[in-house]
């Protein structure tokens, strides 16, 4: 037997990311608290370097390496680029928050970079083994990040819940993968796809394997009824960590769903389509209705994220390239909006004051008209009000299900979107029509946080006014 040396070039961004993360891990041991900013700067430089390498290697075609376990294609390259940019903003937004709580340590940035590496592996996975390795690297990093605030009982409780439920979901996913391997004899997604498409008759084992796969994917996305971890983890984790959890990992979860269901199990579309319809309706209903009752903004945004997963699934279950592109457009739009929403909580918070209650935003227009306007843009966009980005992303996925004659599902999505608009508009009402509570601390965020958060919010408006470019990019990557 001869061993062929794989082509390392497609994985150059991942190798650079791993090397720099290990280097930062070593250098951080010798840094004092005053010089911890070096770790932050190196982490940001690593993300920019990986972004540059990803753009350099971008190709229109599709390439496989490492014995067909790793794929580089346009969809993967675009998702990786958005992951880098989202994580860059997370690190920037979190800097002041971490400093105010004596959490400005290298562990946050090192774990964040290892999580990005896991996301990249997930995005480029072409094998069940590669998917599981990327998922576990990402999950273990996030478990540790949630527990980063060691003296917080809420953070410790959230980390334990996340770890236990996440381990159960990973076990279910692995069990489903083992069934697929047993019936097809391969871990390669391309071979699994061709094998399952050619199978005839009653395949009970294959059906069970598909169920476990969908359950594992639904948990990572936070779809109902596998959402029980999401509100508690978002609420209990430090806001800087919640900012991380709510952004880039959503892109990785979308990529995992595309790799497993579209690349690996496209022949079973009729089976998984029905499961996704059920998950979609439950997520839209539970997410939008339960969010109305929340007084904590982080929990409200957590249930909002569940409802957004329902919209995301609309595009995937349509089973068309247009639907997949619409789902990709939606997840990118949600990440941009989510970064701004949780970034506003970070902006408003101070040492000893989390600003995570809805009432903490009372009278924001009197205290800071500019950032009240930025929050208004973000809330209107999440509610799907035109002409903001959120409107076009919802319209795209609804059009995708209408195109495959699922009119009742499109109607349900519209109804629940109208219901969901209530709790978003409540934030606007609180900011503009309620009086600020006495004793609230003054805003003292750093200039870089103010500038980037403003740019983030204005990007939601700008991409809403001119959505064609981003949507065309998503269509081109999946054509």
pLDDT in tens, 358-379: 988 998 988 889 999 999 999 9
Residue 174 tokens read as 């692995």
Residue 98 tokens read as 């971490």
Q: Please state, in angstroms and rounded to a whole number, the distance separating the CA atoms of residues 458 and 125.
A: 34
Q: Using N-to-C axis directions, what is the helix angle for 189-198 and 153-184, rounded to 10°?
A: 60
Q: Please state, in angstroms and rounded to a whole number, the distance separating the CA atoms of residues 8 and 74.
A: 18
**Among 201, 157, 206, which Cα is nearest to 177's?**
206
Q: Please state, in angstroms and rounded to a whole number, the distance separating the CA atoms of residues 105 and 87.
A: 17
Q: For residue range 331-357, what is the model confidence (pLDDT) as tens digits?
A: 999 999 999 999 999 998 887 778 888
For residues 478 and 53, which has the higher predicted lDDT (pLDDT)?
53
Q: Is the pLDDT of residue 201 over 60?
A: no
Q: Is the pLDDT of residue 202 over 90?
A: no
Q: For residue range 16-48, what is the model confidence (pLDDT) as tens digits?
A: 999 999 999 999 999 888 888 999 999 999 999
Rounded to 5 degrees, φ, ψ at 443 are -75, 130
Q: State which H helix or E strand residue 394 sits in.
A: helix 389-403
Q: Please state, in angstroms and rounded to a whole number, the distance separating the CA atoms of residues 362 and 384.
A: 23
Q: Please state, in angstroms and rounded to a whole number, the distance separating the CA atoms of residues 330 and 456.
A: 16
Give the 3-state secondary structure of residue 408.
helix
pLDDT confidence of residue 367: 86
Q: Please state, in angstroms and rounded to a whole number, the distance separating the CA atoms of residues 45 and 444.
A: 26
Helices (H), 101-227: 106-123, 128-146, 153-184, 189-198, 204-221
pLDDT confidence of residue 4: 66
Give the 3-state secondary structure of residue 296.
strand
Q: Please state, in angstroms and rounded to a whole number, the distance separating the CA atoms of residues 160 and 253.
A: 21
pLDDT confidence of residue 392: 96
Q: Are 422 and 292 in contact (CB under 8 A)?
A: yes
Q: For residue range 279-327, what is the model confidence (pLDDT) as tens digits?
A: 999 999 999 999 999 999 999 999 999 999 999 999 999 989 999 999 9
Q: Please state, in angstroms and rounded to a whole number, the distance separating the CA atoms of residues 478 and 266.
A: 15
Residue 358 per-residue DSSP state: G
Place 438 in a pLDDT band, splitting at 50, 70 and 90.
confident
Q: What percent of the chain has pLDDT over 90?
A: 74
Give the 3-state secondary structure of residue 68.
coil
Q: Which residues pair with 127 in a beta bridge?
A: 188
- pLDDT averaged over every residue in the chain: 91
Place 439 in a pLDDT band, splitting at 50, 70 and 90.
low
Q: Chain-centre distance of CA 179, in angstroms?
A: 28
Residue 101 tokens read as 């709580």
Q: Please state, in angstroms and rounded to a whole number, the distance separating the CA atoms of residues 373 and 301.
A: 18
Q: For residue range 203-245, what is the model confidence (pLDDT) as tens digits?
A: 788 888 999 999 999 999 999 989 889 999 999 999 999 999 9
Please, what is the Cα angle at 393 between 414 and 117, to 5 degrees? Answer: 130
End-to-end Cα spacing for the chain = 38
Please, what is the Cα angle at 341 between 340 and 344, to 5 degrees? Answer: 80
For residues 6 and 265, which has the higher predicted lDDT (pLDDT)?
265
**Among 40, 38, 125, which Cα is nearest to 80's?**
125
Q: For residue range 121-148, what is the model confidence (pLDDT) as tens digits?
A: 999 999 999 999 999 999 999 999 999 9
Rounded to 5 degrees, φ, ψ at 119 are -60, -45
**Among 263, 265, 148, which Cα is nearest to 213's?**
265
Q: Environment class of residue 429 by beta-carbon count within 10 Å: exposed (0-12), middle (13-18) or buried (19+)?
A: exposed
Rounded to 5 degrees, φ, ψ at 363 are 65, 25
pLDDT confidence of residue 268: 87
pLDDT confidence of residue 289: 94
Q: Are 38 and 64 in contact (CB under 8 A)?
A: no
Q: Please state, in angstroms and rounded to a whole number, the distance separating the CA atoms of residues 241 and 219.
A: 19
Place 435 in a pLDDT band, splitting at 50, 70 and 90.
confident
Helices (H), 2-127: 12-28, 37-56, 74-100, 106-123
pLDDT confidence of residue 398: 95
Q: State which H helix or E strand residue 71 sits in.
A: strand 70-72
pLDDT confidence of residue 452: 95
Place 415 in a pLDDT band, splitting at 50, 70 and 90.
very high
Give the 3-state secondary structure of residue 49.
helix
Q: Is the pLDDT of residue 3 over 60?
A: no
């Amino acid at each position: 037997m001869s061993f062929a040396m794989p082509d390392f070039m497609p994985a150059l961004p991942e190798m650079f990311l791993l090397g720099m993360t290990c280097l930062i891990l070593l250098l951080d041991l010798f840094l004092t608290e005053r010089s911890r900013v070096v770790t932050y700067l190196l982490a940001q430089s690593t993300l920019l370097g990986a972004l540059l390498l990803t753009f350099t290697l971008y190709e229109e075609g599709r390439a496989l390496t490492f014995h067909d376990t790793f794929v580089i294609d346009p969809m993967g390259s675009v998702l990786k680029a958005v992951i880098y940019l989202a994580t860059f903003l997370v690190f920037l937004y979190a800097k002041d928050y971490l400093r105010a709580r004596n959490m400005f340590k290298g562990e946050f940035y090192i774990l964040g970079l290892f999580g990005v590496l896991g996301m990249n592996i997930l995005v480029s996975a072409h094998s069940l083994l590669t998917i599981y390795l990327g998922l576990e690297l990402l999950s273990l990093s996030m478990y540790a990040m949630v527990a980063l605030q060691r003296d917080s009982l809420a953070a410790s409780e959230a980390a334990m819940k996340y770890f236990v439920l996440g381990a159960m979901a990973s076990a279910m996913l692995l069990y489903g993968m083992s069934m697929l391997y047993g019936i097809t004899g391969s871990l390669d997604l391309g071979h699994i796809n061709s094998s399952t498409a050619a199978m005839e008759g009653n395949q009970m084992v294959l059906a069970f394997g598909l169920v476990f796969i969908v359950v594992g994917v639904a948990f990572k996305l936070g779809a109902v009824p596998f959402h029980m971890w999401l509100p508690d983890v978002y609420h209990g984790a430090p806001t800087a960590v919640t900012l991380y959890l709510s952004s880039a990992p959503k892109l990785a979860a979308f990529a995992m769903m595309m790799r497993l269901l579209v690349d690996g199990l496209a022949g079973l579309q009729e089976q998984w389509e029905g499961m996704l319809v059920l998950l979609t309706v439950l997520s839209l209903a539970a997410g939008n209705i339960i969010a109305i009752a929340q007084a904590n903004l982080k929990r409200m945004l957590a249930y909002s994220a569940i409802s957004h997963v329902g919209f995301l699934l609309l595009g995937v279950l349509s089973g068309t390239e247009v639907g997949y592109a619409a789902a990709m457009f939606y997840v990118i739009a949600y990440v941009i909006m989510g970064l701004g929403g949780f970034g506003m909580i970070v902006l408003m918070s101070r040492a000893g004051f989390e600003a995570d209650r809805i009432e903490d935003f009372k009278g924001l227009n009197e205290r800071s008209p500019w950032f009240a306007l930025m929050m208004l843009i973000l809330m209107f966009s999440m509610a799907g009000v035109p002409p903001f980005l959120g409107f076009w992303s919802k319209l795209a996925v609804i059009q995708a299900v209408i195109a495959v004659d699922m009119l009742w599902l499109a109607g349900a999505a519209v109804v629940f979107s109208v219901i969901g608009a209530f709790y978003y508009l409540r934030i606007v009402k609180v900011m503009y029509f309620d009086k600020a509570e006495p004793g609230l601390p003054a805003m003292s965020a750093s200039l870089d946080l103010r500038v980037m958060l403003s740019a983030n919010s204005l990007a939601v408006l700008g991409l809403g006014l001119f959505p064609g470019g981003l949507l065309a990019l998503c269509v081109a990557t999946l054509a």
